[in-house]
Amino acid sequence: MNHANRTAVRCNSNTSRRDLLKLLSLAGAGYLASGCHRSKPQQALTMYGTGTLDIGREGWSRLTQDTGISLKFLDNKNDTGPVITQMIVGSAAYDYDLGGLQGGAERELAAAGKILPWDLSKLRNWASLWDWAKTIPYTQWQGQQFGLPVVINADSMIYLPKHVGTVDSYAAVFDKRLKGKTAMEDAWINSVIFTAIYLKENALQRIDDPGDLTADELGAVMEFLISKKKDGQFRTFWSGWENGLNLIVNEEVYVMTGWEPIVYAAQKKGVDARYAIPKEGYEGWSNDLLLHAGAKERGLIDAAHAFADWELSGFYGCDLAKLRGYVVPNDRALDYARQHPTEFSVNDQEAIIQNVQHKFRAMKGSIYWQNVRPKEYRLYDEWWTKLRSA
């Protein structure tokens, strides 16, 4: 692929004073430091990201209205293995300017030179992030910030109280009395860490970090899961939004590990589904904004920073919370909702943000961070293949 023929920065003598002031207010004078002092740089960005990050055509039109930047979004399906392969072996790192991926791949992508560190001095809104969000371990590599946690939440279990009462422990997923009425996701990035948290916090297995298991720890966790599967504990290992939602709505299972938006969707269908507050703690995760090497090649580094700063500025967080029930980890969204009550419900925004903050601040257990690329990830793949065939 001839990267030299890709779109370059263009100079346009028709830049208006209004556009110029808008660009300066977003990113400072450095935003225009491309050599075109009397012109506006090409403001078209492309993003290869998880669908969770997408706010649709109407939402992205607001980006263009506010900044002059347009965005073309392509869903990467959040299948991290193939995405990493496309970034390192394929051309995705050069085909797109930005990426959005579940956290944990930063180290590998950065080491391969496929993503670039963010210049935090160009992000006015970085300082507004909650302190703990700035220190998520896998977002940094060699002292630099490679992943911006623009979406964040913590996961646990979905349950039907009319069948099981209140669930406050992962023990419910493995309870023999619920044999055939529990489920876990068909993805090791979620199911392995949930099982490891349960075993660690109940002193059933010596485990250091449930999100990054050693070979021995992983073997013990997987043997436990395989034995439960052989005993018929799980109705299924579910895959995909529709499958997970149907299991709860049709009451095929009473307890399952899963995503919080499934609870909201089930409730909208009239099902009294709840999200558990587990005594052992949550699986924390972030979906991170990545700066691709291709952005530098096309002279779009400053535009990418302006886009990132816009995502942290308020509107994006409000729209995301309304669409997904997820949050940008700062208070800008709530500030925006209060200033624009006709656009977003302040009460709804407060409830969603407080729910997420409660998980991270005032919970019984701990937060263990999901990691899509643990050190032994190849062993994770091998063990999960064994589980599927067991």
pLDDT in tens, 189-241: 999 999 999 999 999 999 999 999 999 999 999 999 999 999 999 999 999 88
Strands 281-292 and 115-116: antiparallel
pLDDT tens for residues 151-162?
999 999 999 999
- For 351-356, what is the mean pLDDT? 91
pLDDT tens for residues 242-274?
999 999 999 999 999 999 889 989 999 999 999
Q: What is the pLDDT of residue 42?
A: 53
Structure confidence at residue 2 as a pLDDT band (50, 70, 90)? very low
Q: Can you tell me the distance from the alpha carbon of 306 to that of 174, in angstroms, rounded to the nearest whole number?
A: 47
Q: What is the pLDDT of residue 25?
A: 39
Structure confidence at residue 36 as a pLDDT band (50, 70, 90)? very low
Q: What is the pLDDT of residue 228?
A: 98
- For 116-130, what is the mean pLDDT? 97
N residues, the chain: 390
37 pLDDT above the threshold of 50: no
184 pLDDT above the threshold of 50: yes
Backbone angles phi, psi at 124, to 5 degrees: -60, -35
Per the CB < 8 A criterion, the answer to whether 5 and 14 are in contact is no
22 pLDDT above the threshold of 60: no
Burial 320-331 (b: 16+ CB within 10 A, else e): bbbebbbbbbbe
Three-state DSSP state, 383 = helix
Q: What is the pLDDT of residue 364?
A: 52
Domains of the chain: 3-146+285-311 (3.40.190.10), 153-280+365-389 (3.40.190.10)
User: pTM to 2 decimals?
Assistant: 0.82
Distances (CA, A) of 62 to 15, 159, 235, 237, 319: 19, 37, 44, 39, 11
23 pLDDT above the threshold of 90: no
H-run or E-run covering 377: helix 377-389
Q: What is the pLDDT of residue 363?
A: 53
Q: Can you tell me the distance from the alpha carbon of 170 to that of 256, in angstroms, rounded to the nearest whole number?
A: 9
Q: What is the pLDDT of residue 366?
A: 76
32 pLDDT above the threshold of 50: no
Q: What is the pLDDT of residue 365?
A: 61
- For 107-132, what is the mean pLDDT? 97
Burial of 177 (C-beta count, 10 Å sphere; 0-12/13-18/19+): exposed
Instruction: Calculate the average pLDDT of the chain.
Output: 89
Per the CB < 8 A criterion, the answer to whether 156 and 257 are in contact is yes
Per the CB < 8 A criterion, the answer to whether 71 and 48 are in contact is no
pLDDT tens for residues 46-96?
999 998 899 999 999 999 999 999 999 999 987 788 999 999 999 999 999
Q: What percent of the chain has pLDDT over 90?
A: 79
Q: Is the dihedral of CA 262, 263, 264, 265 positive or negative?
A: positive
Q: Can you tell me the distance from the alpha carbon of 380 to that of 10, in angstroms, rounded to the nearest whole number?
A: 47
Residue with tokens 């969603």: 352
Three-state DSSP state, 241 = helix
39 pLDDT above the threshold of 80: no
Side-chain-facing half-sphere of 29: CA atoms under 13 Å: 1
Q: Can you tell me the distance from the alpha carbon of 76 to that of 248, in angstroms, rounded to the nearest whole number?
A: 27
11 pLDDT above the threshold of 60: no
In the chain the beta strands, taken as DSSP E runs, fall at: 44-49, 70-75, 98-102, 115-116, 140-141, 144-145, 148-159, 182-185, 234-238, 255-258, 274-275, 281-292, 366-369
Q: What are the structure tokens assigned to 1, written together?
A: 């692929």
6 pLDDT above the threshold of 70: no
5 pLDDT above the threshold of 70: no
Residue with the larger pLDDT of the pair 291 and 137: 291
Residue with the larger pLDDT of the pair 196 and 31: 196
Backbone angles phi, psi at 98, to 5 degrees: -135, 155
Residue with the larger pLDDT of the pair 305 and 4: 305
Q: What is the pLDDT of residue 362?
A: 53
Neighbours of 145 (CB within 10 A): 19
How is 41-70 classified by DSSP, letter by letter?
A: PP-EEEEEE-GGG--HHHHHHHHHHHHS-E
Strands 255-258 and 281-292: unpaired
Q: What is the pLDDT of residue 117?
A: 98
Q: What is the pLDDT of residue 12?
A: 36
The type of residue at 272 is: D
Q: Where are the alpha helices (DSSP H) in 288-344?
A: 293-297, 301-311, 315-324, 332-339
